[in-house]
C-alpha cells in the first residue's frame, strides 16, 4: 500500500471482473463492494487467483480489509486494497427459500431505472458505480476477437515468478483469454417510456460460464447452453446490472456484475430500505 494512509472497512462483496494481465501482479481483477455504511467501493488491484485460499472471498460475503484512497484514481468509490489484510469472518448473505431481502436492502439505495439516469447521476455527483434495473433483454451479442490469444507482452506478465509463491500457486494454470466479447442489448424504463442500450459484460461469472460450457459441451455446443443461461433463464429474473466506468474513459460504462433475484409476484414488489443493523 506504500505510504497511503489506510483504514479498516467491512465490505460486502458484490462482484469481481474477469482478470487481466498485470505487470506488477501477473494478473488482477477489480472487485465491487458496498461497505457497512452503505457506500459503494471499487477495490483494486486484487490478484484473486493468487490469494491464499483462506482469503479467496465469495460473492455476497462480508469481509474486512484495510483500504486507501488512491492517488491516481479519482473516482469517488475507488480504493486500493491491502490484499494481505483480508479477513473473512464467515458471514455470507444467503437466499434461503428464495428470499433476497437481506441482499437487496444493501443495493436498493444504489439502483436506478435507466442507464440515462445512471449517467445523469455521474455527471451531477461523480458517482461511477451503480445498478440499473432491466425491463427486457433484447439480445446477447457474441463477437469473436481478432486475437484469440494473449500478446507476447501479456504472456510474459502472466508467467512471472512470484518470490513467495507456494507449490499450489506454481502449479496454477496461466489465465486463459476469453476469445469473445459479450454484450447485452437491453431495454429499461426511462422518463420517456423506454430506452435501449448496449454494454459489454466483464463479470467473472460470465467468463467462468463460457469456459464451463466449452468444457462440458465442446466448441459446437457451448453457445446454446451459454445463451440458455444468459438469455432464456435471466429473462425470467428481476435482472439488475451492476455497472461501472473505465478509469481512462470516465464516460464509458461496463456491466461489471449481474444480480438476478426472482421476479416479484404481481402486486408484491417491495423496496428494501438500507438498515445498518445486521
Asked whether the predicted pLDDT for residue 174 surpasses 90, the reply is no
Q: Give residue 1's pLDDT.
A: 52
- Taking alpha carbons only, the member of 96, 121, 95, 100 closest to residue 40 is 121
Q: Give residue 232's pLDDT.
A: 97
| 7-96: CATH class | mainly beta
Q: Give residue 277's pLDDT.
A: 39
Phi then psi for residue 243, to 5 deg, are -120, 145
* Cβ atoms of residues 40 and 122 within 8 Å: no
Q: What pLDDT band is residue 116 in, cutting at 50, 70 and 90? A: very high
Average pLDDT over residues 197-205: 98
Kindly tell me the number of DSSP H helices and DSSP E strands found in the chain.
5, 14
Higher-pLDDT residue of 98, 16: 16
Domain boundaries, the chain: 7-96, 100-259
The pLDDT > 70 percentage for the chain reads 91
Per the confidence metrics, is the pTM higher than 0.95? no
**83: Cβ–Cβ under 8 A, 6 or more apart, which residues?**
46, 47, 51, 55, 65
- Read off the pLDDT of residues 55-108 as tens digits, 9 standing for 90 and up: 999 999 999 999 999 999 999 999 999 999 999 999 999 998 889 999 999 999
- Read off the pLDDT of residues 31-63 as tens digits, 9 standing for 90 and up: 999 999 999 999 999 999 988 888 999 999 999
Q: Sheet containing 240-245: which strands, arranged edge to edge?
A: 111-112, 129-133, 240-245, 253-259
C-alpha 253, offset from chain centre: 12
- Taking alpha carbons only, the member of 234, 233, 251, 275 closest to residue 108 is 275
**65: Cβ–Cβ under 8 A, 6 or more apart, which residues?**
8, 9, 11, 43, 81, 82, 83, 85, 86, 87
Higher-pLDDT residue of 24, 139: 139
* Cβ atoms of residues 108 and 157 within 8 Å: no
Return the residue matching grid coordinates 502472466.
158
Q: Give residue 129's pLDDT.
A: 98
Average pLDDT over residues 154-178: 77
**122's grid cell:** 455521474
Average pLDDT over residues 177-192: 94
The mean of the pLDDT values for the chain is: 91
Q: Which residues of 38-55 are buried (b: 16+ CB within 10 A; e: fewer)?
A: bebbbbbbbbbbbeeeeb
What letter does residue 24 receive in the DSSP assignment?
T
Calpha distance 42→30 (Å, rounded): 7
Partnered with residue 124 across adjacent β-strands are none
CA angle 187, 188, 192 (to 5 degrees): 110
- Read off the pLDDT of residues 209-232 as tens digits, 9 standing for 90 and up: 999 999 999 999 999 999 999 999
Q: Give residue 191's pLDDT.
A: 79
Q: What pLDDT band is residue 272 in, cutting at 50, 70 and 90? A: very low
From 62-66, 69-73, 121-125, 268-272, the region with the lowest mean pLDDT: 268-272
Amino acid at each position: 500500500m506504500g505510504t497511503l494512509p489506510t483504514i479498516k472497512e467491512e465490505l460486502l462483496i458484490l462482484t469481481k471482473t474477469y482478470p487481466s494481465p498485470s505487470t506488477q501482479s501477473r494478473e488482477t481483477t477489480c472487485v465491487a463492494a458496498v461497505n457497512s455504511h452503505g457506500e459503494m467501493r471499487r477495490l483494486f488491484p486484487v490478484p484473486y487467483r493468487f490469494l491464499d485460499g483462506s482469503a479467496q472471498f465469495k460473492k455476497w460475503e462480508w469481509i474486512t480489509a484495510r483500504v486507501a484512497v488512491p492517488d491516481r484514481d479519482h473516482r469517488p468509490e475507488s480504493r486500493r486494497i491491502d490484499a494481505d489484510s483480508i479477513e473473512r469472518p464467515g458471514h455470507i448473505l444467503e437466499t434461503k427459500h428464495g428470499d433476497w431481502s437481506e441482499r437487496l436492502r444493501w443495493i436498493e439505495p444504489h439502483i436506478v431505472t435507466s442507464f440515462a439516469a445512471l449517467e445523469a447521476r455521474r455527471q451531477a455527483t461523480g458517482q461511477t458505480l451503480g445498478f440499473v434495473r432491466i425491463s427486457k433483454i433484447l439480445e446477447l451479442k457474441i463477437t469473436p476477437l481478432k486475437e484469440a490469444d494473449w500478446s507476447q507482452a501479456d504472456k510474459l506478465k502472466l508467467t512471472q515468478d512470484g518470490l513467495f509463491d507456494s507449490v499450489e500457486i506454481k502449479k496454477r494454470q496461466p489465465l486463459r483469454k476469453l476469445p469473445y466479447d459479450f454484450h447485452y442489448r437491453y431495454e429499461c424504463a426511462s422518463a420517456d417510456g423506454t430506452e435501449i442500450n448496449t454494454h459489454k459484460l466483464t463479470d467473472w461469472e460470465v467468463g467462468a460460464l463460457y469456459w464451463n460450457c466449452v468444457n462440458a459441451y465442446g466448441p459446437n455446443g457451448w453457445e446454446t447452453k451459454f445463451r440458455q443461461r444468459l438469455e432464456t433463464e435471466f429473462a425470467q429474473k428481476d435482472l439488475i446490472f451492476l455497472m461501472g466506468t473505465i478509469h481512462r474513459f470516465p464516460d464509458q460504462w461496463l456491466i461489471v456484475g449481474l444480480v438476478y433475484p426472482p421476479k416479484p409476484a404481481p402486486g408484491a414488489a417491495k423496496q428494501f430500505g438500507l438498515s445498518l443493523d445486521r
